[in-house]
Amino acid sequence: HPPPVATDKEEQKRLLENRPDQPQNPKVLRIAIIGAPNAGKSTLSNQLLGRKVFPVSKKVHTTRCKARGVITHQDTQLIILDTPGLTSPLKAKRHNLDEAMLTDPWDSMKHADLVLVLVDVSDHWTRNSLSKEVLKCLSQFPHIPSVLVLNKVDILKKKFLLLEIATDLTEGIVNGKKLEVKSTLKQDSRIHITRASPTESKVPRSTFGQEKNQAQEGSGLDRSSDVGAAGTGEAQRPEHHGPEDLKHKKGWPHFQEIFMLAALRGEEVDTLKRYLLMQAKPGPWEFHSDVLTSQSPQEVCDNIIREKILEYLPLEVPYGVTQVTEMWEEGECGELLIVQSLLVPRESHKRMLIGRGGKVISRIAQEAGQDLMNAFLCDVRLKLKVEVK
């Protein structure tokens, strides 16, 4: 079971500053998860971690800071760099976003050993091409191995579209092999594609393929002819692309794998997690095995409350709320007592946040309290007050 987040600020600080409890042969993998705002990056991070520590909301830009999630499994540590959605300077200005929101994803890429590119296949406007920001990111760091993750496949009614989407986003090439659609599966609405399956013995099989053959069975993607270095089965190293080359690009032909999952329901997340664990390379752990996130307990709390405010308030209102923690202490029975003031700029915002008969604010407090119990693994009593600043 994943460890809880420490409720005490000093204890969490001590854990983060402690020397990691290195096993004999430690392995590590730093993973940057990038994608358009709202692709489901934080939901996937939480599912991989096994506990909710990153805020999730249907509104864009719920994630505003660079936080790390830590998965420790036996001798392996996966470090998830949960990044804000890649956005343009113009959109950032519209949402009063920090400068940091524009540079953080790039910053995370610099430290990553592997990048997961998340695409929401339920969005028919954006699903057939990677966003310009994502392509720019990939082309600036072509040496970092990348994996395509198609998310929200459970919402997609016509499963055969997954093949078309995968072909568009990879330009028909995965790991230096051409993708081919098996005609028998075209009519099959139950396509459980977890990744493109390797074919022919000359293709170097990934260790993951050997471990989980059944993952390939329902696969509608087939890598056949080599596109990489002649006859070796090795994918060619991607070259650096300039802004002009990217103008007409829709996909990225250098992905190593494709995964299809439903992060919210946890479907196929374990398959991806096993793959990530197997990609880890020998190297020292960065964190103690009791650490689940680099955030302080207060940051986890603020983010979760803010997530609920984003969820229940209309449009731009939540972006003007300031949170002030007035009380954070342990009760007599070991429960955590938290009192937080929510400061809003206008009386009308205050009325909206409280809701008729206090319904909205009590719902926010109740749901945030539940999530905090899950993160801290203890009883939480949360009280929220609303004031005009």
Q: Which residues contact 280 (CB under 8 A, 6 or more apart)?
A: 27, 28, 29, 76, 77, 78
Q: What is the pLDDT of residue 242?
A: 58
Looking at domain 9-181+247-282, which CATH architecture does it have? 3-Layer(aba) Sandwich (3.40)
| HSE, side-chain direction, 13 A CA sphere, residue 378 | 21
Q: Please give the sequence-ordered ranges of beta strands (E in DSSP) within 236-285, or none if there are none.
A: 255-260, 281-282
Q: What is the pLDDT of residue 100?
A: 44
Query: Which of 212, 368, 254, 276 has the alpha carbon at shortest distance from 45?
Result: 276
Residue 343 near residue 322, CB atoms below 8 Å:
yes
**How far, in Å, are 138, 151, 301, 347 from residue 295 at the CA level?**
27, 26, 10, 32
Indicate the pTM of the whole model: 0.80
CA 126, 97, 302: angle at the middle one, nearest 5? 100
Whole-angstrom distance, CA of residue 59 vs CA of residue 208: 35
Helix (H) or strand (E) segment spanning residue 342: strand 336-344
Query: Which of 34, 68, 50 has the alpha carbon at shortest distance from 269?
Result: 50
Q: What is the pLDDT of residue 238?
A: 59
CATH of domain 297-388: 3.30.300.20
Q: What is the pLDDT of residue 224?
A: 44
Q: What is the pLDDT of residue 150?
A: 96
Q: What is the pLDDT of residue 227?
A: 40
Q: What is the pLDDT of residue 73?
A: 96
Q: What is the pLDDT of residue 105?
A: 52
What angle, 0 to 180 degrees and rounded to 10, lies between the N-to-C axes of helices 359-376 and 297-312? 140
Q: Which two tokens stand for residue 286?
A: 């960065």
DSSP β-bridge partners for residue 323: 342
Domain boundaries, the chain: 9-181+247-282, 297-388
Average pLDDT by stretches of 10, the chain with 389 residues:
92 92 96 87 93 81 68 96 56 48 60 94 93 89 95 91 94 89 42 42 33 35 41 46 69 96 93 97 96 94 92 78 94 93 93 94 96 96 95
Q: What is the pLDDT of residue 28?
A: 98
Q: Which two tokens stand for residue 86?
A: 């890649």
